[in-house]
Amino acid sequence: MVIILGFINALLLTLLLSPFLLRKINKLIFQNKNKALKKSAALLSKMHMYFAYILLATALTHGYMALGTIRLHSGYLLWLLVLVQVIWGNLFKKMKKPYMLKVHRAIGLSSVLLLIFHLLQVN
């Protein structure tokens, strides 16, 4: 169950980063002309915050089931980063300052590095 939830977490994180990746691919390879990529990014963006709230719940369940306690661990650091993103994402939605999206993107991408570190730590 811990490992299944781990993969669900990884899937949710991928879905959270997908609008960014699809838009980048569309821009770099298709000069922004690929309609299917545009549509998929827009659809995933609509579900973005729901993925985030589900991830907060599934990651905490996965982590607590794996360790049975809360202590310093790459998994909990990753969870904290997702929590920061949820707070920052909501602030950005309210304030709409362009720099906030840049920070949100940067934290999102650094969560991939922390995920790699997490996977190295548990294997």
Using CB under 6 A, list all residues that contact ligand HEM: 2-3, 6-7, 9-10, 13, 16-17, 19-20, 23, 45, 48-49, 52, 55, 59, 62-63, 66-67, 73, 75-76, 78-79, 82, 85-86, 89-90, 92-93, 101, 104-105, 108, 111, 115, 118-119, 122-123
Given the complex with ligand HEM, which of 37 and 55 has the nearer CB atom? Answer: 55
Query: Minimal distance in Å, beta carbon 13 to ligand HEM?
Result: 5
Cα separation, 84 vs 27, whole angstroms:
28
Is the distance from CB of 13 to CB of 55 less than 8 angstroms? yes
Task: Write down the residue that tokens 């838009």 correspond to.
Answer: 23
Q: How far is the CB of 35 from ligand HEM (least distance, A)?
A: 16
Residue nearest to ligand HEM according to CB distances in the complex = 75
Give the torsion through C-alpha atoms of 90, 3, 119, 92, to 10 deg: 0
Q: Which is nearer to ligand HEM, 2 or 36 (CB)?
A: 2
- Residue 72 CA: distances (Å) to CA of 26, 77, 97: 39, 7, 33
Minimum CB distance to ligand HEM, residue 54 (Å): 10
Q: Which of 44, 38, 40, 46 is nearest to 13 (CA)?
A: 44
